[in-house]
């Protein structure tokens, strides 16, 4: 069977693209650099309840991912396969991966924020403990624990609030007095908010953090949070730059590749989801699904389906 569409990225948008192409009878191959499908929904917040898109509202993120995987079945899926580059070749593209080279007629970049790793607190000894977490896969491991949540975005706020029904005590520490995330109902939860403070050192016993020393940003006052059982760090993630020969992002920080009509970055190469540049717009799953529709429709037109 001829290789038609290469989808780079096995997150929710890549999976939706594969299922939509499947319905049109167009074979597609998903290339996912990690060993798991689902992107951030699998690695960062599998237990989080979905709000968007409407079809998944109320579901856990991991359940939504499993639904998308089921829809994409029969399309070719390559896990732990990293796309290194691609170049024009005859009437399509030669795709180079860590497994070899293959020809495709079209390429869709749906890499989300790309291969990424969590930002750490940058403290000495942080990489030598096992009770600092950068995502939550099973919230019940914090049952009756004292937990420090670091960060000021929605992930930190959401988990601080959600874990109050499981943990015995929750601290929320942020470097600013203002939060980036939604704080409108934070005061309804038994969360001890500490601002504006940053962590400057940790104390551990064996491979367990037991306390954090915090420093106030303006006055340099120091306080110690002791008797900690776990620390959750939500400082965002750093991304590797994808080495594709596409128009550069507009800022030093990855905000997605620029595109023209019908999500095309260059003829035959499309971008969708968080890999698509959206000036001044919040990146959510629902717009990514709409972009997938645009791409599939354009590919169908080019194939005269």
The CA-CA-CA angle for residues 204, 205, 208, to 5°, reads 70
Q: Which residues pair with 12 in a beta bridge?
A: none
pLDDT of residue 220: 96
Domains located in the chain, CATH noted:
5-116+237-302 (3.50.50.60), 120-233 (3.50.50.60)
Residues of the chain under the 50 pLDDT cut: 1, 252
pLDDT tens track for 22-53: 999 999 999 998 888 988 788 777 777 887 78
CB contact set of 191 (below 8 Å; sequence gap of 6+): 160, 161, 164, 170, 171, 172
Cross-sheet strand order for the sheet of 191-194: 132-133, 230-233, 146-150, 169-173, 191-194
pLDDT of residue 262: 87
Gap between the Cα atoms of 271 and 291, Å rounded: 8
pLDDT tens track for 68-79: 999 999 999 999
């Amino acid at each position: 069977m001829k290789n038609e569409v290469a989808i780079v990225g096995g997150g929710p948008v890549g999976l939706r693209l594969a299922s939509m192409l499947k319905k049109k009878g167009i074979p597609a191959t998903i290339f996912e650099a990690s060993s798991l499908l689902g992107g951030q929904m699998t690695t960062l917040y599998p237990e989080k309840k979905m709000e968007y898109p409407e079809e998944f509202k109320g579901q856990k993120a991991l359940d939504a991912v499993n639904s998308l995987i089921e829809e994409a079945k029969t399309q070719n899926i390559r896990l732990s396969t990293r796309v290194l580059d691609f170049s024009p070749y005859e009437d399509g593209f030669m795709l180079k991966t860590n497994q070899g080279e293959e020809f495709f007629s079209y390429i869709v970049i749906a890499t989300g924020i790309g291969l990424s790793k969590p930002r750490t607190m940058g403290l000495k000894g942080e990489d030598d403990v096992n009770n600092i977490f950068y995502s939550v896969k099973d919230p019940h491991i914090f049952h009756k624990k004292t937990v420090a949540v670091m960060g000021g975005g929605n992930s930190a706020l959401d988990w601080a609030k959600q874990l109050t029904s499981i943990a015995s005590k929750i601290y929320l520490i942020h470097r600013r007095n203002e939060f980036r995330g939604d704080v409108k109902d934070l005061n309804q939860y038994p969360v001890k908010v500490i601002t504006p403070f940053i962590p400057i050192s940790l104390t551990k016993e064996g491979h367990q953090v037991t306390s954090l020393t915090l420093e106030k940003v303006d006055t340099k006052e120091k306080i110690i949070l002791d008797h900690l059982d776990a620390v959750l760090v939500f400082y965002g993630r750093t991304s590797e730059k994808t080495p594709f020969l596409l128009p550069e992002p507009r800022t030093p920080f990855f905000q997605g590749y620029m595109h023209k009509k019908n999500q095309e970055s260059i003829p035959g190469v499309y971008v969708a989801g968080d890999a698509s540049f959206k000036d001044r717009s919040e990146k959510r799953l629902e717009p990514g699904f709409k972009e997938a529709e645009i791409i599939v429709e354009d590919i169908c037109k080019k194939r005269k389906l």
